[in-house]
Structure 1
Amino acid sequence: MQLVRGLHNLQTLTQGCVATIGNFDGVHRGHQAILARLRERAIELGVPSCVVIFEPQPREFFTPDSAPVRLTRLREKLELLAAEGVDLVLCLAFNRRLRELSASAFVQQVLVEGLRVRHLEVGDDFRFGCDRLGDFAFLVHAGEAQGFSVEAALTVELDGERVSSSRVRDALHKGELERAERLLGRPFALAGRVLHGQKLARQLGAPTANVQLKRRQPPLRGVFLVSAQAEDGVRYHGVANIGQRPTVAGDGRPHLEVHLLEFAGDLYGRRVTVTFHKKLRDEQRFASLEALKAAIDADVAAARAYWLGQPLD
């Protein structure tokens, strides 16, 4: 899959492409249905498939303090899009210049001159352009004038609810990991590099890998049964705490700390993917480090009992 950052870096697509536009946060089953249709149309027309995304996401630009927490950082999103068979991702910087671009200018500069789009898949509630004046009907009329077709993306329902990023966030916030997995089509996971931490967990008898989150807020909090996979492909069972560690004075930022069962080694500097399988409890403040150690010991014991005899594949 090719990643192009900015329209100015896009080489001419002589045959054009089929495209879709959106945040694709989480690349959930609804997104997967859109991408499957995109692949079909790309094969029919003999052109590459393209996904247009924005960084930051529009709501992060307009209301950064109240924007929804991300399910996937950009790197994770790109990996998921590649796994869905996308040929090209055009990542546009969402800034004041793009915000002020009219709907007609967006169509002309991005879709027609930039991508030479031949077919477009978007939701029927899709809005774009300055003051969100562009909509699905606008695109249909533009396509008729410019020679590309427009189709409304399929809505996917599961267990009586529409699959959406907001519903995935709701499931994760409530610790409903099975529901989140059904909506995503896979278990929820976070990835990051292992950094040096305070080494407090080591002193408490349960050394942890401090996984860099690179996000203001995580979509879930608490203590979880997890599995973790390093870049070499080896997977381990474990237990993880994600949150602000209220018992320990810290920097106020969220942290992901993972204790791996039956592991002895050094993961510093390596990228680790942590998959969340079951919530054990909410994060809580303890009156003393002794009480915290007792809780950690209980969490590790619960993890050993849960993972006993379960395969790592």
Structure 2
Amino acid sequence: MSTGFTVIRDNTPASVIPKGAVVAMGNFDGVHLGHRAVIGAALAMGKAHGVPALAVTFEPHPRKFFSPNTPQFRLTDETNKLRLLAATGLAGAVVMTFDKARAGTTAQDFIHHDLIGRLGISGIAVGYDFHFGKGRVGSPSLLVSEAPRLGIEVDVQAHVDIAERPVSSSAIRMALAEGEIADATAMLGGPWFVTGPVIHGEKRGRDLGYPTANLRLDKHCGLKHGIYAVRVGLGSERFDGVASFGRRPTFDNGAPLLEVFLFDFKGDLYGKVLDVAFIGFIRDELKFDTIEALIRQMDDDSARARAALAAAPGAFPRLGVID
């Protein structure tokens, strides 16, 4: 059954692309409040003209193409970005492959061939700082100047500020790197989350009385190592829990791993895909001299996590379903 959110890719036949749509264009990493302002403008434009509104975005992220050897901490991978976009009310997303050909396309060619020729847009919304085309020559001002000749409407959104600081993906990454979960949540408009399958670990948690579901995050994940209050999604079900992200210095100081203990849950999670939303930061990762000291600290962490979660009832990212 169709969910009403369709993903259009480079190989999608032109005949099935809704012509006359308006688009919100951007990289949309995190789909934060600044992105949502652009999306909101496109939705309003589409409603005013009775046409669908779509997102236009790029994969892989252009930074990955231009700096392949530089670690890239993405807030959302492609799938989760689309799940967030699907929950905004957009009719779909156009995912354009960012490769050598795309990087070499001039801004004018992109406008005329991709936006007007292939997509047949009637309007576009962008953020004040969005650039596109070879050499990043394409800009909001170029779109505004071309709009009358092209017969399209252009909406340029100013930056969104929280506490006099502009919301941006880089600011959110910095907040997560510092364990400032409340700041990241405020800028995102909801909790930051990760998704992955539960893998087998060393089974130490069972012996400690805290059996964990383990997830291997992207190697470039810049989240601060430490203990977190989390809310976990398993399909449509939600569970509260406490999680450790880090290298386990008490045991092996190994590769970073997310270890999640679900409160009041019994069952086998191996191979299941979990969404883990970060609700609050509890403490830094520590090394303990004895197992007894570690267990006492884990008991305290759990109590603090329960309190943080009780103060944020229902907090979880709003996610849509992708056709």
Scaled by the length of structure 2, the TM-score of the pair is: 0.86
296 and 34 in structure 1: CA distance in 2 versus 1, 3 angstrom threshold: farther
7 and 67 in structure 1: CA distance in 2 versus 1, 3 angstrom threshold: farther
- Does structure 2 retain, via aligned residues, the 8 Å contact 1:247–1:286? yes
Instruction: Identify the match of residue 238 of structure 2 among 235, 239, 245.
Output: 235
Residue correspondences, number: 308
Large movers: runs of 4+ above 6 Å: none
- Does structure 2 retain, via aligned residues, the 8 Å contact 1:230–1:273? yes
Map residues 214-225 of structure 1 onto 2, 5 A cutoff: 214-225=218-229
Q: More relative contact order in 1 or in 2 (CA 8 Å, sep 6+)?
A: 2
Per-residue deviation, residues 193-218 of structure 1 (Å, max 9, x unmatched): 21222223223332100124345324
Task: Give the residue type in structure 2 aligned to 1:163.
Answer: V
Task: Give the residue type in structure 2 aligned to 1:133.
Answer: V
Determine helix, strand or coil for the equivalent of 1:117.
coil
Aligned-pair CA distance for 1:282: 1.8
Aligned-pair CA distance for 1:51: 0.8
Aligned-pair CA distance for 1:260: 1.5
Match of 1:82 in 2: 86
The gaps in structure 2 that reach 5 residues or longer are: 315-323
Map residues 48-63 of structure 1 onto 2, 5 A cutoff: 48-63=52-67
Distance across 2 between alignment mates of 1:49 and 1:240: 38
- Does structure 1 retain, via aligned residues, the 8 Å contact 2:247–2:257? yes
Match of 2:45 in 1: 41
Percentage identity across paired residues of the two chains: 35
Instruction: Identify the match of residue 70 of structure 1 among 71, 74, 87.
Output: 74
Map residues 92-171 of structure 1 onto 2, 5 A cutoff: 92-171=96-175
Pick which of 240-249 and 185-194 moved more: 240-249
Distance across 1 between alignment mates of 2:149 and 2:219: 42
Aligned-pair CA distance for 1:142: 2.9
Instruction: Identify the match of residue 271 of structure 1 among 252, 270, 273.
Output: 273
Match of 1:300 in 2: 299
Distance across 2 between alignment mates of 1:156 and 1:184: 11
Match of 1:203 in 2: 207
19 and 172 in structure 1: CA distance in 2 versus 1, 3 angstrom threshold: same
The gaps in structure 1 that reach 5 residues or longer are: none
284 and 120 in structure 1: CA distance in 2 versus 1, 3 angstrom threshold: same
- Does structure 2 retain, via aligned residues, the 8 Å contact 1:261–1:304? no
Distance across 2 between alignment mates of 1:113 and 1:84: 26
Distance across 2 between alignment mates of 1:15 and 1:62: 32
125 and 226 in structure 1: CA distance in 2 versus 1, 3 angstrom threshold: closer
Task: Give the residue type in structure 1 aligned to 2:26.
Answer: G
Distance across 2 between alignment mates of 1:195 and 1:279: 24
Task: Give the residue type in structure 1 aligned to 2:244.
Answer: N
Task: Give RMSD over aligned pairs.
Answer: 2.4
121 and 261 in structure 1: CA distance in 2 versus 1, 3 angstrom threshold: same
- Does structure 2 retain, via aligned residues, the 8 Å contact 1:7–1:114? no
